[in-house]
Amino acid sequence: MVEIAHALDWPLVEGVVSDLDGVVYRGKTAIQDAVETFQVWRAAGIPYCFVTNNSTHSAGDVVAKLNGFGLDVTENNVVTSAVTAAQLIRKSHPAGTRIYVIGAPSLKQAISDAELEITDEKPAVVIMGLDREITHEKLRVAVDAILKGAVLMGTNPDLLLPTPTGFEPGAGAILTAVATAARVKPIIVGKPEVHMIEAALMRLGTDRASTLMIGDQIPTDIQAGKRAGLCSILVTTGVPPVDDPTLQPPDFVISSLKQIPSTR
Q: How far is the CB of 114 from Mg ion (least distance, A)?
A: 26
Residue nearest to Mg ion (CB): 22
Smallest separation (angstroms) from Mg ion to the CB of 53: 8
Q: Is 131 in the site for Mg ion (CB under 5 A)?
A: no
Closer residue to Mg ion (CB): 123 or 192: 192
- Please report whether residue 158 would count as binding Mg ion according to CB under 5 A: no
* Closer residue to Mg ion (CB): 111 or 130: 130
Q: Which residues, 191 to 250, sit near Mg ion by CB under 5 A?
A: 216, 238
Interface size with Mg ion, residues (CB under 5 A): 5
The binder of Mg ion chosen from 10, 15, 22, 223 (CB under 5 A): 22
CB of 54 to Mg ion, least distance (A): 9
Shortest Cβ 239–Mg ion spacing (Å): 6
Closest CB to Mg ion among residues 43, 167:
167
We find the least distance from the C-beta atom of residue 58 to Mg ion, in angstroms, to be: 18
- Residue 21 makes contact with Mg ion by CB under 5 A: yes
14, 16, 17, 19: residue in contact with Mg ion (rule CB under 5 A): 19
What is the DSSP track for the chain? --B---GGGSPP--EEEE--BTTTEETTEE-HHHHHHHHHHHHHT--EEEEE---SS-HHHHHHHHHHTT----GGGEEEHHHHHHHHHHHHS-TT-EEEEES-HHHHHHHHHTTPEE-SSS-SEEEE---TT--HHHHHHHHHHHHTTPEEEES----EEEETTEEEE-HHHHHHHHHHHHT-PPEE-STTSSHHHHHHHHHHT--GGGEEEEES-IIIIIHHHHHTT-EEEEETTSSPPP--TTSPPPSEEESSGGGS----
| Beta pairing class for 117-118 and 160-163 | unpaired
Comparing CB distances to Mg ion, the nearer of 144 and 169 is 169
Cβ 34 to Mg ion shortest distance, Å: 11
Where do contacts with Mg ion occur on this chain (CB under 5 A)?
A: 19, 21-22, 216, 238
